[in-house]
C-alpha cells in the first residue's frame, strides 16, 4: 500500500509541533486534510517520506542492520508492531533543528522534550516515526536516548515539576520561529519502566492548533520519549497507544 500524508500551514508554525512528530506524519495511514489541521514547516508537503514504492518496503522504513549499537537495537523496527508503519526517518528534514527555548525557565524541560533530543544531557538519541494503519491519522514519534542514570532520573523529576508549574502554558522558540503550548495537563498513563511522566497540551500558532500527548519513561539509564498527534483531525485528542509504549520498552529491556 502506498501511504501518503499531506498538510499545509505557514512556515511560522514549524516550532509549534514537536519537530520529531512532524516526521511521523509520513507514516499515517490515510491522506490528511489539505489545510487547517496540522502544520507543516514548509507549506504543502509532497507525498510522505515513508511512502512505499510499489511492491517494496516503505522508503526510509526502520529495519534491523548488522553492527547496530545497543541504542539502535532498542529502537522500534518495521514489523515490530502489526498495524503500524515504522520509519527510521523520525524527523522531518524541513523541521527546525535544535532545542526550543521556553519563555519561562520553569517550562524549559517541556520545551526541550519537543526538540531533537529529550534534553541536553542525552548522550545519544535514536528516533522513529510511527503511523497507525488502524486509527486514521494517528502519528507517533518514538525515541530512545542514552544517559548517565543520574541524569535520566533528574530528567523525569524536572519534567514532573515542569508539568505541575506550567499548566497555563508557555511559548517556545527555535530558529526564530515561535509557537505556544497551552493547557499543560498531567495525565494518567500506565506503562512499564522504572518511572514515567505523561501530559497533554495544545500546541498553537497563527490560528492553527493541535492536541499533543507526551509520555516519557525511564528504564535504567535509557529514556523513552513518545509523542502522539492525530493528523487527520488535529483538534481530536490523541493518545500514545499502549501497545506502542509496551513494545518500545520491551525492546529497551531486551537490548539492555
Say whether pLDDT at 87 is over 60: yes
Average pLDDT, the chain: 77
User: What is the mean pLDDT of the segment spanning 55-70?
Assistant: 53
Neighbouring C-beta atoms of residue 223, cutoff 10 Å: 30
pLDDT, residue 6, reads 32
Tell me the CA distances in angstroms from 250 to 68, 76, 113, 253, one per residue in order. 17, 10, 22, 5
**Cβ atoms of residues 32 and 45 within 8 Å:** no
pLDDT, residue 89, reads 63
The vertex-250 CA angle with 216 and 237, nearest 5°, equals 40
User: What is the mean pLDDT of the segment spanning 99-122?
Assistant: 92
Instruction: Provide the pLDDT confidence category of residue 171 given band limits of 50, 70 and 90.
Output: very high
pLDDT tens figures, 222-254: 999 999 988 887 778 899 999 999 999 999 999
Phi-psi category of 159—alpha, beta or left, where left has phi over 0 and alpha has psi -120 to 50? alpha
Out of 66-70, 122-126, 212-216, least confident range: 66-70
Q: 97 or 55: whose pLDDT is higher? A: 97
| CA-based nearest residue to 33, from 256, 243, 235 | 235
pLDDT, residue 17, reads 58
User: What is the mean pLDDT of the segment spanning 40-62?
Assistant: 33
Tell me the CA distances in angstroms from 17 to 23, 70, 202, 214, one per residue in order. 11, 29, 9, 12
Instruction: Provide the pLDDT confidence category of residue 33 given band limits of 50, 70 and 90.
Output: very low
Percent of the chain past pLDDT 90, that is, above it, reads: 50
pLDDT, residue 62, reads 52
Say whether pLDDT at 190 is over 70: yes
pLDDT, residue 116, reads 82
pLDDT, residue 98, reads 72
Grid cell 486514521 in the structure block, residue: 136
pLDDT, residue 93, reads 60
pLDDT, residue 102, reads 94
pLDDT tens figures, 128-155: 999 999 888 898 999 999 999 999 999 9
**Cβ atoms of residues 19 and 114 within 8 Å:** yes
The vertex-219 CA angle with 98 and 145, nearest 5°, equals 20
Instruction: Provide the pLDDT confidence category of residue 18 given band limits of 50, 70 and 90.
Output: low
Amino acid at each position: 500500500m502506498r501511504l501518503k500524508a499531506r498538510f499545509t500551514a505557514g512556515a511560522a508554525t514549524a516550532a509549534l509541533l514537536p519537530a520529531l512528530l512532524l516526521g511521523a506524519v509520513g507514516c499515517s495511514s490515510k491522506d490528511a486534510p489539505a489545510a487547517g489541521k496540522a502544520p507543516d514547516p514548509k507549506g504543502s508537503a509532497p507525498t510522505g517520506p515513508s511512502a512505499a514504492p510499489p511492491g517494496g518496503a516503505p522508503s526510509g522504513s526502520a529495519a534491523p542492520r548488522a553492527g547496530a549499537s545497543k541504542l539502535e537495537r532498542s529502537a522500534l523496527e518495521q514489523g515490530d508492531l502489526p498495524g503500524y508503519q515504522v520509519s527510521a526517518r523520525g524527523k522531518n528534514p524541513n523541521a527546525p533543528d535544535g532545542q526550543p527555548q521556553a519563555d519561562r525557565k520553569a517550562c524549559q524541560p517541556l520545551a526541550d522534550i519537543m526538540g531533537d533530543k529529550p534534553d541536553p544531557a542525552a548522550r545519544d538519541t535514536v528516533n522513529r516515526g510511527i503511523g497507525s494503519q488502524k486509527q486514521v491519522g494517528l502519528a507517533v514519534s518514538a525515541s530512545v536516548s542514552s544517559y548517565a542514570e543520574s541524569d535520566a532520573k533528574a530528567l523525569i523529576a524536572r519534567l514532573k515539576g515542569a508539568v505541575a508549574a506550567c499548566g497555563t502554558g508557555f511559548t517556545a522558540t527555535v530558529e526564530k520561529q515561535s509557537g505556544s503550548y497551552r493547557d499543560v495537563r498531567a495525565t494518567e498513563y500506565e506503562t512499564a519502566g522504572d518511572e514515567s511522566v505523561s501530559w497533554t497540551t495544545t500546541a498553537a500558532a497563527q490560528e492553527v492548533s493541535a492536541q499533543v500527548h507526551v509520555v516519557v519513561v525511564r528504564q535504567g539509564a535509557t529514556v523513552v520519549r513518545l509523542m502522539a498527534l492525530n493528523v487527520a483531525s488535529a483538534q481530536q485528542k490523541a493518545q500514545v497507544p499502549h501497545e506502542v509504549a509496551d513494545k518500545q520498552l520491551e525492546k529497551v529491556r531486551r537490548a539492555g
